[in-house]
Amino acid sequence: MKDLMPMERIERRIYLIRGQKVMLDRDLAELYGVPTKRLNEAVKRNIKRFPDEFMFQLTMEEAQELVAICDQLAQSNRSRSQIATLKRGGNIKYLPYAFNEQGVAMLSSVLKSGRAIEVNILIIKTFVRLRRLISSHQEMAHKVAELERGYSKHEIEITTVFKVLKKLMEKPAIEEKPKRKIGFLAD
């Protein structure tokens, strides 16, 4: 299954909406190999398993913004956007649902096919991988900030040290007279 669906394919379908990393119902349905309508029906039949912390429905503004972003990506990739594909009339007929990591995990208890289980494992691994990447970037940014703070604290001392070193490297301002040679001078 991993050969059929690389993590990068899943990563491209994770969006940051309302400050959460989420996947849309349409993308999940495609990955699971079921129609979006069927996925949403399964969720609605088991709605108690999906509290607001696990899933939410996009507003019209969010959906339109997402369509615009996907259109731009589609034009740059020269492929059709799945989100921007609209039927008759060109209006968004159904507002998509967004599932965060816990919501995706809960889908595995609702969708029982073998493919759904395998895809769910890959999706959870992808979320974990992204969380590790973000964490390592945050740690690095924190260390750089510490170095910058340390540098600014010691900037005055470092500047003073450089000034002293420059003075030591300069020729003395008063030139000394040549020393008299010791011994006899022969004409």
Show the domain range for 30. 7-58+96-140
- At residue 80 the predicted structure's pLDDT band, cuts being 50, 70 and 90, is very low
Q: Which of 40, 42, 137, 47 lies closest to 93, judged by CA?
A: 40
Residue 165 lies in a domain: no
Residue 14 lies in a domain: yes
- At residue 147 the predicted structure's pLDDT band, cuts being 50, 70 and 90, is confident
Q: How many domains does the chain contain in total?
A: 1
Q: Which of 142, 57, 130, 65 lies closest to 94, judged by CA?
A: 57
Q: Model pTM greater than 0.85?
A: no
Q: What is the pLDDT of residues 21-41, one digit of tens each?
A: 898 999 899 888 889 999 999
**Rounded to the nearest 5 degrees, what angle is found at the Cα of 11, between the Cα atoms of 9 and 12?**
70
Half-sphere exposure of 134 (CA within 13 A, CB side): 7
